[in-house]
C-alpha cells in the first residue's frame, strides 16, 4: 500500500497529523435543523398575487417550537361562499387585514434563508406554489430552501394499514395530535408540525438522521436497505477507498470518492439506481474504508484493491492481470511473436501492452503484412538445409524465404523500429488500404483493417506513455488543488505516496518529507511490472496535466512530450475510417 500523509487543514505535511473535519463536512443533524411548517388559506383560484387569505406558520428546532406566524390577508376581492363554508373566513374578516405586499416580506423574514432551514407543508406543491407566485408578482426573491412535503413523507412512514388516506385531518386523528386541523392556517400548521415530528421519530431508526438523508427519505428505497445506512457512520469524510464486505468476509465491491462517508450513504438511498449494485448493498454486512491524502491516491488504491480482491461486483475486476506484447523471436531468422511478459531491459524493443490477445493478433497481422517478415512458426537454422523449399508466400511476394536463401531478412530492422513505437509507415500503409477498400465499397474488410490499425496505434501511444514513467527510479510532481498543492512521488511507474501542502512555499519541504517517509520500490524484472498498467496511465495523465509541475532534481530529469505525433495519428486513423455498420 502506498505511503500517505494526511494533513490537518492541508498543513504540516511532514508531521503526519490526522485531519480534523469541519462541521460542514459532517452534514446537518436533524436536531440542529430548523423546520418552518406553513399552511395557507386562499380564495380557491390559481396561484397569484391576490389569492392568499391567511398565512400560518410554526418554526421548530430539535422538536421544540421556537416561533409562530399567523395573519389574515386581504385578497382585494370577495371570498367565494364555498371557501367561507370550508374555512370560516368571510370577506368582512379580511377587509381590515393587510395586503400580501406587506405580509409576504414579514413572512420571508420569519422564514429566513439559512441552508439548515427546511420549508414544510402538507401538499407543499399548493402552499409553496402560492408563496412563490406571490413573491414573483411582487418582485421579491424567494429563498432557495429545501422543501419537504409531509404527504409524500407520510406515504413512506405510515402504512395503509394504519390510515385510510393521507389527508391532514385523517393523519392527525391516527397519530393523535394535540391540535386538530380545522382549515385555519395556524391550527393546520401546528397539526402538520406534530405530524412531522412523529414521522421523524419513525425515520430515525432507518438511518435518516441528517438533512442529507431527509432529502431522499421520500424515495422508493427498500426498508431493509435504508436500515443499513448506519454502516457508513464511522467512515472518513476525506478522499479514500471503500469496500463493501459480504457475509463470508469477502470483498464484494470497491469504490472511491473525495468524501467516503457521503458517497457510501448514497448507496442506501434512491440515488443508487443500478439493480446489480442494489443487490450487492443488500448482501453487505459492513463497509471498510482507507483514508487517503489525495483523490489520486484513492484512485490508485482502488485499482490495486480490484486487482488484489477481484470483487464480483466491479466490472474492471474481470480484466487479465498480464497483458500481451509483440516481440521479435530470438533466432537467426526472427519472426513476430505474442508473449505475456517482457524483461524490463527489452521494453524499448517490444510493442505493448495490448488490452487483449485479440488486439495483439490484429496488430501483429498488420505488422506482418507491412514488413513482410516471415510468418511461419518453424525455427529456421542459420544455414538452410540442402533440400529446403520455399512456400507459396515467396511467389506472392509476402516473404523473402530465408529458409531457402539463408540471407537475413531486410524486414527485420524495420520491424524493430515499428516495435519501438515508430509506426508511421504501418499507419500510412493501413490508411492507403482503407481508402482503397472504401472506394470499392468493401466496408467489411475496411472495418477489419480499421480495427487492426486502431489496435496498433492505441498501443503504440500507450507504450510511449508507459515508457516515460516505468523506467524512472523516482519522479516527484505537484499540482494545485482546491486547498493547497497536491504532491506525489512515483517510482518505476508506481505511486509511492501523496500529500498536500498548504501553500507553494511548503511544497519542497513536503515532497522531501514524503519521499523519505515512503517505502522504496525495487526496479521490476518485467516491463511495467511495478504497478498495474491502469495505475501508471493514471499517474501519467496527472503528471502531464497543464497545471502539474515536476520537482525532480537536475540529476533526475524527466521529459514529457505533451503533443505526441501519435495523438494526431489516433484521431485520423480511428475516427475517419468506415464503420462496420455500413456494410
pLDDT, tens only, 421-452: 888 889 999 999 999 998 998 999 999 999 99
Closest CA to 292 of 577, 7, 15: 7
CB distance 466 to 493 below 8 Å: yes
Report the range of poorest mean pLDDT among 54-58, 123-127, 277-281, 310-314. Answer: 277-281
Report the range of poorest mean pLDDT among 116-120, 269-273, 497-501, 518-522. Answer: 269-273
Longest dimension (CA), the chain: 124
pTM attached to this predicted model: 0.63
- Rounded to 5°, the CA angle 142-148-152 comes to 140
Alpha helices in 78-210 (DSSP H): 81-87, 91-94, 100-111, 124-137, 150-157, 168-175, 185-203
Please report the pLDDT score of residue 350 as a whole number: 92
pLDDT in tens, 529-579: 888 889 999 999 999 999 998 887 545 544 443 333 333 333 333 444 444
Does residue 17 carry a pLDDT above 50?
A: no
Question: What's the mean pLDDT in 215-229?
Answer: 70
Q: How does residue 221 score in pLDDT terms, banded at 50, 70 and 90?
A: low
pLDDT in tens, 294-352: 999 999 999 999 988 989 888 765 555 578 999 998 888 888 999 999 999 999 899 98
Please report the pLDDT score of residue 208 as a whole number: 77
Looking up cell 407543499 gives 124
DSSP string spanning 388-402?
----HHHHTTS---H
Please report the pLDDT score of residue 267 as a whole number: 85
Q: At what angle do helices 185-203 and 150-157 cross, to 10 degrees?
A: 40
Q: Does the N-terminal peptide bond of residue 91 adopt cis geometry, omega within 30 degrees of 0?
A: no
Please report the pLDDT score of residue 319 as a whole number: 54
Q: Does the N-terminal peptide bond of residue 353 adopt cis geometry, omega within 30 degrees of 0?
A: yes
Q: How does residue 212 score in pLDDT terms, banded at 50, 70 and 90?
A: confident
Q: How does residue 420 score in pLDDT terms, banded at 50, 70 and 90?
A: confident
Q: Quickly count: other Cβ atoms within 10 Å of residue 367's Cβ.
A: 22
Domains in the chain, start-ordered, CATH in brackets?
29-209 (3.30.420.10), 221-318 (3.40.1440.10), 325-441 (no CATH)
Alpha helices in 268-410 (DSSP H): 275-283, 295-309, 357-371, 392-395, 402-405
List the grid coordinates of 69: 406566524
More confident residue, 338 or 205: 338
Report the range of poorest mean pLDDT among 248-257, 347-356, 507-516, 559-568. Answer: 559-568
pLDDT, mean over the chain: 82
Question: What's the mean pLDDT in 181-187?
Answer: 92
φ/ψ bin of 390: left (φ > 0), alpha (ψ from -120 to 50), beta (otherwise): beta
Please report the pLDDT score of residue 13 as a whole number: 33
Residue 488 pairs in a beta bridge with: 477, 498
Amino acid at each position: 500500500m502506498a505511503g500517505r500523509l494526511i494533513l490537518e487543514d492541508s498543513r504540516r505535511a511532514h508531521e503526519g497529523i490526522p485531519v480534523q473535519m469541519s462541521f460542514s463536512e459532517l452534514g446537518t443533524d436533524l436536531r440542529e435543523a430548523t423546520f418552518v411548517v406553513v399552511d395557507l388559506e386562499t380564495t380557491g383560484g390559481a396561484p397569484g398575487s391576490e389569492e392568499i387569505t391567511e398565512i400560518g406558520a410554526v418554526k421548530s428546532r430539535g422538536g421544540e417550537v421556537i416561533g409562530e406566524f399567523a395573519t389574515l390577508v386581504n385578497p382585494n376581492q370577495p371570498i367565494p361562499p364555498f371557501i367561507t363554508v370550508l374555512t370560516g373566513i368571510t370577506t368582512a374578516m379580511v377587509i381590515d387585514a393587510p395586503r400580501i405586499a406587506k405580509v409576504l416580506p414579514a413572512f420571508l423574514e420569519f422564514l429566513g434563508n439559512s441552508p439548515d432551514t427546511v420549508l414544510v407543508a402538507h401538499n407543499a406543491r399548493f402552499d409553496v406554489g402560492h408563496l412563490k407566485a406571490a413573491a414573483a408578482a411582487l418582485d421579491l426573491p424567494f429563498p432557495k430552501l429545501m422543501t419537504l412535503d409531509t404527504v409524500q413523507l407520510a406515504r413512506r412512514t405510515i402504512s395503509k394499514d394504519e390510515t385510510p388516506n393521507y389527508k391532514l385531518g385523517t393523519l392527525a386523528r391516527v397519530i393523535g395530535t394535540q391540535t386538530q386541523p380545522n382549515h385555519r392556517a395556524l391550527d393546520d400548521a401546528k397539526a402538520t408540525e406534530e405530524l412531522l415530528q412523529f414521522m421523524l421519530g419513525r425515520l430515525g431508526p432507518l438511518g435518516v438522521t441528517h438533512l442529507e438523508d431527509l432529502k431522499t427519505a421520500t424515495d422508493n428505497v427498500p426498508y431493509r436497505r435504508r436500515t443499513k445506512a448506519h454502516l457508513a457512520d464511522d467512515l472518513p469524510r476525506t478522499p479514500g477507498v471503500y469496500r463493501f464486505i459480504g457475509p463470508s468476509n469477502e470483498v464484494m465491491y470497491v469504490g472511491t470518492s473525495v468524501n467516503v462517508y457521503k458517497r457510501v450513504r448514497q448507496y442506501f438511498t434512491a440515488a443508487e439506481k443500478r439493480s446489480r449494485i442494489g443487490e450487492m448493498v443488500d448482501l453487505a454486512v459492513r463497509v471498510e474504508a482507507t483514508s487517503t491524502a489525495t483523490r489520486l491516491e484513492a484512485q490508485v488504491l482502488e485499482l490495486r484493491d480490484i486487482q488484489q480482491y477481484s470483487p464480483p461486483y466491479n466490472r474492471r475486476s474481470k480484466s487479465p492481470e498480464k497483458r500481451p506484447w509483440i516481440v521479435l523471436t530470438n533466432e537467426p531468422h526472427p519472426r513476430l511473436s505474442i508473449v505475456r511478459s517482457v524483461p524490463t531491459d527489452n521494453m524499448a524493443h517490444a510493442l505493448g501492452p495490448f488490452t487483449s490477445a485479440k488486439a495483439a493478433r490484429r496488430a501483429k497481422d498488420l505488422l506482418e503484412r507491412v514488413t513482410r517478415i516471415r510468418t511461419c512458426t518453424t525455427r529456421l537454422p542459420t544455414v538452410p538445409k540442402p533440400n529446403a523449399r520455399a512456400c507459396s508466400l515467396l511467389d506472392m511476394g509476402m516473404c523473402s524465404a530465408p529458409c531457402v536463401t539463408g540471407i537475413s531478412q531486410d524486414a527485420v530492422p524495420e520491424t524493430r523500429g515499428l516495435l519501438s513505437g515508430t509506426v508511421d509507415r504501418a499507419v500510412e500503409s493501413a490508411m492507403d488500404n482503407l481508402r482503397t477498400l472504401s472506394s470499392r465499397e468493401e466496408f467489411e474488410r475496411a472495418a477489419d483493417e480499421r480495427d487492426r490499425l486502431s489496435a496498433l496505434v492505441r498501443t503504440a501511444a500507450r507504450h510511449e506513455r508507459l515508457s516515460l514513467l516505468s523506467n524512472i527510479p523516482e519522479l516527484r510532481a505537484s499540482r494545485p488543488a482546491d486547498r493547497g498543492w497536491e504532491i506525489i512521488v512515483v517510482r518505476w511507474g508506481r505511486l509511492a505516496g501523496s500529500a498536500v501542502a498548504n501553500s507553494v512555499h511548503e511544497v519542497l519541504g513536503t515532497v522531501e518529507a514524503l519521499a523519505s517517509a515512503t517505502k522504496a520500490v525495487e526496479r521490476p524484472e518485467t516491463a511495467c511490472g511495478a504497478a498495474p498498467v491502469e495505475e501508471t496511465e493514471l499517474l501519467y495523465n496527472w503528471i502531464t496535466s497543464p497545471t502539474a509541475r515536476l520537482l525532480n532534481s537536475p540529476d533526475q530529469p524527466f521529459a514529457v512530450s505533451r503533443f505526441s505525433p501519435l495523438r494526431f495519428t489516433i484521431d485520423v486513423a480511428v475516427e475517419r475510417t468506415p464503420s462496420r455498420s455500413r456494410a
